[in-house]
Amino acid sequence: MIDWFISAAHAAAAEGGGHHGAGGFDPMHQFAINRYVHLKLFGYDASFTNSSLWMVMGTGLVLAFLIYSMREGRLVPTRMQSVSELTYEFVANMVRQNAGNGGMPYFPVIFTIFVYVLAMNLLGMIPLPGLGNFTVTSHIIITFALAAFIFIGVTLIGFYKHGFKFLKLFVPSGVPLILLPLIVVIEIISYFTRPLSLSVRLFANMMAGHTMLAVFGSFVVGLGILGGWLPFAFMVVLMGLEILIAFLQAYVFAVLTCIYLSDALHPGH
């Protein structure tokens, strides 16, 4: 998939150069993966890429912030500490509401997923001097890996907690017997498409958003200093929208994880 993106970006760059003449504009270029350190492990390409760099930066920032803000652990929180506590409370309420108190043992993993996706989405909004702009979550391989991990984990939890009674999840109660074969097939299909829809939702939102930003950014450059103010004003609004989407998608990702977890914990409903 990463190779697919590299080749896609190259193809788009080649086409864009032909269509637009000098300084050809290419909204897909921002998704290209660049290898910084070449590395091969057991025949696999494990190079340190810009994607890895952004992940390390995001994780490092989150860790540094959480550790720094909670270093004193006061009863009356400082400003930084209250931000950490707000995040904690937000995710804890989300888990309690969607998965019940039985979901609280799995709070750390959901908190990690939420903060990770949020950090990656928000870090993608900031262009860094010398490095450019990159959004880790705009690559389906990253989001699909997350979603597949959640899917397998939740299924294992379901079987571990309930054994074969977990399969009751596919047989909703109160359905007429004639409809049952059809409903079971639909339930099973919808269960197995969960990792796909979960990953594509996040990936498509981030990718579409950043492509749109690049296209509107090119309008500002194309119209120059006289006419570029109108699309520039629009860009400011779009940036706000994208930051909202970054929060929203992280929230939706975490909420759906909670809902899947709730299905695994209480399959009878």
Would you count residue 11 as binding another protein (CB under 8 A)?
yes
Selected binder of another protein within 99, 207, 213, 265 (CB under 8 A): 207
Applying CB under 8 A, among 56, 175, 180, 208 the residue interacting with another protein is 208
Q: Which is nearer to another protein, 35 or 201 (CB)?
A: 201
Site residues (CB under 8 A) for another protein, limited to 180-199: 197
92 touches another protein (CB under 8 A): no
Q: Which is closer to another protein, CB of 24 or CB of 228?
A: 24
User: What does the alpha-carbon distance between residue 212 and residue 93 come to, in Å, rounded to a whole number?
Assistant: 34
The site map against another protein for 20-59 (x = CB under 8 A) is --------x-------------------------------
Q: Could you say which of 100, 252, 266, 267 contacts another protein (CB under 8 A)? A: 252
Residue 214 interacts with another protein (CB under 8 A): yes or no: no
Half-sphere exposure of 147 (CA within 13 A, CB side): 25
The distance of closest approach from Cβ of residue 110 to another protein in the complex, given in angstroms and rounded to an integer, is: 15
By the rule CB under 8 A, 249 interacts with another protein: yes
Q: What are phi and psi of 34, to 5 degrees?
A: -110, 135
What are phi and psi for residue 48, nearest 5 degrees? -85, 110
Closer of 4 and 160 to another protein (Cβ) = 4
Spatial separation of the C-alpha atoms in residues 167 and 192, rounded to whole Å: 13
Q: Which is nearer to another protein, 3 or 41 (CB)?
A: 3
Applying CB under 8 A, which of residues 205, 261, 262, 265 lies at the interface with another protein? 205
Q: Which is nearer to another protein, 119 or 207 (CB)?
A: 207
Least gap, CB of 204 to another protein (angstroms) = 4
Here the tokens at position 246 are: 């970054």
Cα separation, 1 vs 5, whole angstroms: 6
> Beta-carbon neighbour count of residue 190 at 10 Å?
11
* Total residues binding another protein (CB under 8 A): 19
Question: Chain-centre distance of CA 171, in angstroms?
Answer: 31
CB-nearer residue toward another protein: 83 or 252: 252
Minimal distance in Å, beta carbon 220 to another protein? 23
- At residue 49, what are phi and psi to the nearest 5 degrees? -105, 180
Given the complex with another protein, which of 17 and 77 has the nearer CB atom?
A: 17
Contact footprint for another protein (CB under 8 A) = 4, 7-8, 11-12, 28, 197, 200-201, 203-205, 207-208, 248-249, 251-252, 255
